[in-house]
Amino acid sequence: MNLARVLALAQREWREILRDRIYFLLAFLLPVMLMLVFGYGMSQDIENIAFAVVDEDHTPLSRDYAHHFIESRYFSFKGYLPDADAADRLLAQRKLRLVIVIGPRFAEQLRAGRAAQVQTLIDGTFATSTRTIQAYVEAINLAANTSVRSGYLARRLGLPPERVADLLHPVVLEVRYLYNQEVRSIWSVAPGLIMLILMLVPPLLMALSVVREKETGAIYNVYSSTITRAEFLVGKLLPSVTISCINAVILWLLATLYFGTPFKGSLAFFGVATLLYILCTTALGLLISLLVRTQQAAMIISLVMSIIVSIQFSGLITPVSALSGGNYAIAHAFPAMYYNEVVKGAFLKAIGFEALWPQLLVFALYALAVFMLCYLLFRKRTRT
Amino acid sequence: MGQAALVAAAEAPLLRVAGFVKRYGRRSAVKEVSLEVRRGEIYGLIGPDGAGKSSLMKAVAGVLSFDAGRLEVFGIQLDSEAAAERVKGRLGFMPQGLGLNLYPELSIEENIDFFARLRLVPAAELAQRKERLLAITRLARFRSRAMKHLSGGMKQKLALVCTLIHEPELIVLDEPTTGVDPVSRRDFWLILSEILHERGATALVSTAYMDEASRFHRLALMLDGRILAAGRPQDLRRRVPGVAVQLRAEHQAEALARLRSVFAQVQALGAWIHVFAQDRDATAAEREIRAALADIALHEMFSTEPELEDVFIASLRQQDPHAGAMSAAVQAPLAAMAAAADGNAIAARGLTRDFGEFRAVDRVSFNVSRGEIFGLLGANGAGKTTCIKMLTGILPPSAGEGSVGGIDMRHAGRAIKQRIGYVSQAFSLYTDLTVVENVRLFAGIYGLTRREAGERLAWTLDNGGLAGYENETAGSLPMGLRQRLALGCALVHRPQVLFLDEPTSGVDPVGRRQFWEILFRLSRIDGVAILVTTHYMSEAEHCDRLALMYAGGIVADAAPAELKRRVTEEAGSLLEISASPVLQALALLRSAGYPDAALFGEHIHLLARDPDTAGTQLRQMLAGAGIAVAHIGRRPLSMEDVFVHYVTLLERGGTLQ
């Protein structure tokens, strides 16, 4: 391996990347953009749900009930509506996601000891958020029931309301969420996004950079020179890996500083694992570039591979253990799954080398194997 | 090593190709080619696209495997990738496509440095070589300019410098001059000769331009994967004995038809007719022509040495008697087209187009009348395509105006499109559709009725000689046929004006002649006004009138013969000098009042006002300097000479150099 030739190639490549505006944006803007867009998009916390109340009863009791919703931080109260028709219209226009309709004899029924009817209208076009809204509504409704009941019992039994509440709920379920105590979904999403983006961008950049030379004919400078196959492959990998390392740092900063995700693990472990993971994904891009001729093909193949692997077979959404036979095997054939364990471990669980060293070994062997495959596939004297 | 062995080694060919075969899938790109290149020579491969030149050159450079035969470079058999690696240190390869192998974002100097570092050229040597090569190519002033901002000629020179920076013994250049303006081309050939001579290196060079043959010491004419003929340019011309006769006659179309019944190779060149009279001398040929023309009045006639293209086609005919003959369909009269408006079919007045800072077209004015073939001749990037795009209403001009068929192109986009046919530079057909489907598609686009579409389809098949290919996909047709199909599609709505943007690029000489034959009939019989662009200097002679384009502007505008006459008046006649050593002779002539003397292989061309006296003087001067003069004679001016003359005048007048 002649280092002078490797450096000549790598430095030229680096200069080109810095000067080619489109490629530069692709290299440095795309990862940040993906992080921000997906960070907000995939976060499942739902707050400030626009809602309104139709109060057909107009009694202090009905207003009390409505206030349970108005005071919640999950809901954003837009005002009282005169009737259900107005509610339908605003729901259809997507100005509201939820309407609470309190029936005309609400207070009367309650006082008579009968169940009062309250109707909720929820915009069901987004299935996941609909279920979340429904859960919120049920929880608030339960709280409202409890306060009505405990107020009633407190008056009848002459006990303080707190005591009554304890009597009503003899068993209290206490939930403690491990690793993500506040169940902020961005905390689990941001590390996952680092995995996804480092699966997506490095192969794309790498594949484009080789295929671009094939398209222009500049690859013949390499073919016809005395540079060896290994030197070429290493010289091509270097700039691409460097870019991705810079991106990894930027993404880590975004996750911790911007999204506020706690980083509990060892930075050294995370750094080594990330470098190895980038080597794997960049080498996959190199492999693609050796198999195709056009930039379009390189782009489509690397994007389709990356998106499917990082979303479906990485444990990002569905845990890998829940995948069935064939899918389970596919997940194990790509580095994304192992790295997903690494990011979750390093960010949220504070585990490192001691528990996750097998993942590092997998990365190292994986990168080496793909590089060897590239070496075998790359020919300086082609058939076409 | 003994003396005898040393001599043998020096004389052994540097490159030996025997029975070379290259296939791509089922298609054979090169079929049993054999040739030898000797040390120190410039060997040419001439042929159209698809002739197999690139495949052969890539294999020689060790970047392409092949299927059969032997390939020996520096005595090493290239039978494996490992063997190929062994020759790469002594070899330089410049792939096809002007400057495409360079790095657009890097400057001239950074490009050179990269190539040198890739080849492990030591820093001190690099600095020295770089300065020298930059000086020779006159690129030194622009060393920090990004490659993407260079002109075509500069890119070509930079590519050459990058290929030479490690001082290879054999350089393989794939179409280094295609699309480059003639002035830069002359420059390029001189630089190449000087460097090769100085270093004793050898070059294998390919070109699509038949008229570049005289640049080579020896050459091979290639077509369809085979070598048709090989040898020195003068020997190739003599292979098929005969004489070329140029004539101008009344009733050109009729005269053409009568001459065809006697001679196999007859073609129209603008207002002239060009006849290749095989196996005849000038007297016999001219006598026979007079007899054939009978009562048709003959205006002018003179004989010249045949062009290499005449010989090329004649060689083809010896192998296949039908090659080069015009098909019956082409000769049949065409259906009359709708009468065009009177006056100028195309008019451009001060057309200008800016792209940001860059002025692509600069105040271009010309008129084309009905039935006229008007040519825009210029290098890639001279502004030809932009002109056409403005006149067809695709691109709004920054200034100036134009009209087509009497309609101002700015206000009547649709009306214009009904009147024009346009064959674009990039192949304008749908390659996955068959011939018939393509014609029907275009008929549909122009809203023809079913009956009309049927008629036009029959006409296109007949006119383009496409019968028998109806159900082939357009992509599978040879270039010549494809271009005739594209022409048919552009004519499907019977336009009065036809725009053709480099229609014959990459088409073989026979295909080009057939294509021009169709254009000739369209203009003469149907009265269609034709505007055609080309970068083939020799092809420009087919036009009735020519505008030479350079750097966005028109340098000269007249009939080809008139342009030549003007140059002769302004600068003199063309002299060809064969002297040895030729580079020394060239340097002497350039310093002795002939700064534009140009090198053509082993000959020198220069313009002299009084050729006879000048010839004697030059002979004495060269002999006085100890240079052996074999021959000094006159040669007819080519379009390239005309172009170079005008551009040189412009450059000297326009800039202070």
Chain B interface with A: residues with Cβ < 8 Å:
24, 58, 61-65, 81, 84-85, 88-89, 91-93, 95-97, 100-103, 105-106, 110, 114-115, 117-120, 146, 162
Interface test with B, best of A6, A7, A23, A220 (most B CBs within 10 A): A220
Is the model more confident about B176 or about A183?
A: B176
* Stretch B222-238: mean pLDDT: 89
Q: Is the pLDDT of residue B654 over 80?
A: no
Is the model more confident about A150 or about B587?
A: B587
The pLDDT, as a whole number, for residue A329 is 87
Cβ separation B63–A4 shorter than 8 A: no
- Give the model confidence (pLDDT) of A107-129 as tens digits: 888 888 788 888 888 887 777 67
The pLDDT, as a whole number, for residue B169 is 94
Which chain B residues are within 8 Å of A15, Cβ to Cβ? 105-106, 110
The pLDDT, as a whole number, for residue B333 is 40
What topology is assigned to A49-168 in CATH?
A: abc type-2 transporter like fold (3.40.1710)
The pLDDT, as a whole number, for residue B327 is 46
The pLDDT, as a whole number, for residue B580 is 86
The pLDDT, as a whole number, for residue B202 is 95
- Give the model confidence (pLDDT) of A134-170 as tens digits: 888 888 888 888 887 777 778 777 777 777 777 777 6
Give the whole-angstrom CA distance, residue B369 versus residue B484: 24
Distances (CA, A) of A134 to A71, A98, B459: 17, 9, 72
As annotated, the residues of chain A forming the CATH 3.40.1710.10 domain(s) are 49-168
Q: How many interface pairs between A and B have CB atoms less than 8 angstroms apart?
A: 87
Q: Is the pLDDT of residue B271 over 90?
A: no
Give the whole-angstrom CA distance, residue B149 versus residue B107: 9
* Stretch B404-427: mean pLDDT: 78
Q: Is the pLDDT of residue B340 over 60?
A: no
Domains and CATH numbers, chain B: 3-234 (3.40.50.300), 236-331 (3.30.70), 344-554 (3.40.50.300), 562-654 (3.30.70)
* Stretch A32-39: mean pLDDT: 90
The pLDDT, as a whole number, for residue B61 is 96
Q: How would you class A236 by CB atoms within 10 Å of its CB: exposed for 0-12, middle for 13-18, buried for 19 or more?
A: buried
Which chain A residues are within 8 Å of B88, Cβ to Cβ? 224-226
Residues A148, A140: contact at Cβ < 8 Å?
no
Residues B509, B416: contact at Cβ < 8 Å?
no
* Stretch B551-570: mean pLDDT: 91
Cβ separation A384–B24 shorter than 8 A: yes
Edge-to-edge order in the sheet of strand B15-24: B27-37, B15-24, B68-73, B76-77
* Stretch B532-552: mean pLDDT: 88
pLDDT more than 90, % of chain B: 43
Q: Which two tokens stand for residue B150?
A: 């260079």
The pLDDT, as a whole number, for residue A90 is 86
Edge-to-edge order in the sheet of strand B399-404: B358-369, B344-355, B399-404, B407-408
Look up residue B140 and give its DSSP letter: G
Cβ separation A383–B101 shorter than 8 A: no
Q: Is the pLDDT of residue B561 over 60?
A: yes
Q: Is the pLDDT of residue B1 over 50?
A: no
Of A216, A226, A380, the CB nearest to B101: A216
pLDDT band at A43 (very low <50, low <70, confident <90, very high): low
Is the model more confident about B505 or about B622?
A: B622
The pLDDT, as a whole number, for residue B208 is 85
Give the whole-angstrom CA distance, residue A152 versus residue A155: 5
Give the whole-angstrom CA distance, residue B396 versus residue A260: 53
Look up residue B107 and give its DSSP letter: B
Is the model more confident about B331 or about A46?
A: A46
Q: Which helix (H) or strand (E) holds A331?
A: helix A325-332
Cβ separation B118–A8 shorter than 8 A: yes
Residues A320, A335: contact at Cβ < 8 Å?
no
* Stretch A235-240: mean pLDDT: 95
The pLDDT, as a whole number, for residue B338 is 39
Which chain A residues are within 8 Å of B115, Cβ to Cβ? 221
pLDDT more than 90, % of chain A: 41
Q: Is the pLDDT of residue A234 over 90?
A: yes
- Give the model confidence (pLDDT) of B474-486 as tens digits: 888 877 888 889 9
In B89-229, which ranges are continuous DSSP H helix? 108-118, 123-136, 152-164, 182-199
Cα angle B279, B285, B291; round to 5: 135
A228-242, B231-245, B252-266, B366-380 — most confident range:
A228-242
pLDDT band at B426 (very low <50, low <70, confident <90, very high): low
Q: Is the pLDDT of residue A186 over 90?
A: no
The pLDDT, as a whole number, for residue A182 is 53
Give the mean pLDDT of chain B: 87
